[in-house]
């Protein structure tokens, strides 16, 4: 009855979800995808949320790089997919006539893509995975076909991996729990479903009642702009707090666990959005479990805290909010995008291969 009318169909699905809490599958498009008709990358412009939900199309490598730098597309797993699709895009744009030239073009494109954001390891991982795959090609068209297929596989696998992370992680949440999260590690940080928020989604899909407290995540407010919006799309109860309220919320007994994503996991630390480290200390002080949910593609098996570059962002992100001036225009600013949380502050790391409790050897994760 509803199939002839897209709007009614969406309404019907929303009704089913509200009443039966079916699977929490979203009506929204994937955060990032490939458009076959125009050989371009399409993505949700996250800088516009929550005011506007707009899909933009990147037809050139420079427009995709701009989208990554300005956080139109963001979140480690989504950046992995962006890296993969970026190489596919470069393959379609290359005018090379032979396999050596196109391979060189793609290596240059890979370097350009990797330089856009240095901390989330998934971006390099996505680029390198597609670059490795094209070595099986025999000609220019073969390079294009393989690059695109591999990039599409990365995107497809991301969704399946997040569902697995959700399945394992849901075991750690009890019916009635409230989880505190930071930044956005949801479907908008991935291709779909989410890592940290995917765990909450999976627990809810299993029938548990889960509430989320979202830290606003200054200075770019991924928590207040994106996490609250995406959870409200699914009717998942969410309460917004400012970053400075987290300790007090814990002391008041409002938080059962902290659940965050990761941009890079090395032997000794977890890199994630600035503010995560402080939350881990607060959680320790209040004896609240601190969980990190991330795919294996976020692990940097050779890395250590000291070997990783933390992205420093534009000081104006703190001096202004949009066009609103918040501080003296020439005030000195320190604006690292990420921090590192030592393993000893982490209760468990949830991956698609299961739950790992520190101290663990990264090699164990690979098995």
104 is in an annotated binding site: no
Judged by beta carbon, residue 140 or residue 348, the one nearer ligand MRU is 348
User: CA 354 from chain center: how many Å?
Assistant: 19
Shortest separation between residue 311's beta carbon and ligand MRU, angstroms: 8
Q: What angle do CA 258, 295, 265 make, to 5 degrees?
A: 70
Shortest separation between residue 341's beta carbon and ligand MRU, angstroms: 12
| Interface with ligand MRU (CB under 6 A), residue from 49, 120, 246, 269 | 120
| Interface with ligand MRU (CB under 6 A), residue from 262, 279, 346, 349 | 262
| Interface with ligand MRU (CB under 6 A), residue from 161, 259, 337, 340 | 337
Stretch that binds ligand MRU, among 17-25, 70-78, 81-89, 355-363 (CB under 6 A): 70-78
H/E element, 90: helix 76-93
Shortest separation between residue 254's beta carbon and ligand MRU, angstroms: 21
Q: Is residue 308 a contact point for ligand MRU (CB under 6 A)? A: no
Shortest separation between residue 324's beta carbon and ligand MRU, angstroms: 21
Whether 68 contacts 123, CB under 8 Å: yes
Structure tokens at 105: 């073009």
283 is in an annotated binding site: no
74 is in an annotated binding site: yes
CA distance 129 to 342: 28
Shortest separation between residue 181's beta carbon and ligand MRU, angstroms: 9
222 is in an annotated binding site: yes
Hunting for tokens 């930044």 — which residue is that? Answer: 183
What part of residues 173-212 is at the interface with ligand MRU (CB under 6 A)?
A: 183, 185, 189-190, 195
Who's near 66: CB < 8 A, 6+ residues apart?
72
- Which neighbouring-strand residues pair with 342? 269
Q: Is residue 263 a contact point for ligand MRU (CB under 6 A)? A: yes
59 is in an annotated binding site: no
Whether 44 contacts 75, CB under 8 Å: no
Q: What are phi and psi of 333, to 5 degrees?
A: -130, 140
CA distances from 37 to 41, 57, 59, 141 (A): 11, 12, 12, 17
CA distance 167 to 125: 24
State the catalytic residues: 263
Binding residues for substrate: 74-76, 117, 222, 272-273
What residue ranges bind ligand MRU (CB under 6 A)?
A: 71, 74-77, 120, 183, 185, 189-190, 195, 222, 261-263, 272-273, 337
């Amino acid at each position: 009855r509803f199939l002839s009318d897209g709007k009614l169909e969406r309404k019907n699905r929303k009704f089913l979800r509200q009443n039966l809490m079916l699977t929490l599958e979203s009506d929204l498009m994937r955060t990032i995808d490939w458009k076959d008709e125009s050989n371009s990358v399409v993505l949700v412009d996250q800088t516009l949320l929550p005011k506007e939900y707009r899909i933009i199309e990147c037809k050139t490598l420079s427009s995709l790089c701009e989208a990554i730098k300005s956080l139109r597309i963001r979140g480690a797993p989504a950046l992995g997919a962006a890296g993969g699709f970026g190489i596919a895009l470069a393959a379609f744009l290359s005018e090379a006539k032979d396999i050596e030239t196109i391979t060189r073009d793609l290596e240059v494109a890979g370097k350009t893509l990797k330089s856009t954001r240095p901390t989330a390891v998934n971006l390099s991982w996505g680029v390198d995975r597609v670059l490795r795959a094209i070595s099986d090609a025999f000609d220019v068209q073969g390079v294009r076909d393989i690059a695109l297929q591999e990039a599409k596989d990365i995107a497809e696998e991301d969704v399946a991996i997040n569902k697995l992370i959700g399945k394992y992680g849901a075991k750690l949440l009890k019916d009635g729990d409230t989880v505190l999260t930071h930044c956005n590690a949801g479907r908008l940080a991935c291709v779909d479903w989410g890592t940290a928020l995917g765990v909450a989604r999976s627990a809810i899909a299993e029938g548990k009642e889960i509430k989320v407290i979202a830290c606003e995540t200054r200075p770019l407010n991924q928590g207040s702009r994106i996490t609250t919006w995406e959870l409200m799309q699914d009717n998942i109860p969410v309460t917004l707090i400012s970053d400075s309220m987290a300790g007090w919320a814990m002391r008041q007994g409002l938080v059962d666990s902290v659940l965050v994503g990761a941009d890079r996991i090395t032997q000794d630390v977890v890199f994630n959005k600035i503010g995560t480290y402080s939350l881990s200390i607060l959680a320790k002080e209040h004896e609240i479990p601190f969980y990190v949910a991330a795919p294996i593609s976020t692990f940097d098996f050779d890395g250590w805290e000291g070997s990783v570059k933390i992205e420093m962002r534009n000081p104006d992100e703190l001096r202004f909010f949009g066009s609103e001036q918040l501080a003296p225009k020439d005030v000195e600013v320190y604006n690292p995008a990420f921090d590192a949380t030592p393993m000893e502050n982490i209760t468990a790391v949830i991956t698609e291969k299961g739950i790992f409790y520190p101290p663990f050897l990264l090699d164990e994760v690979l098995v």
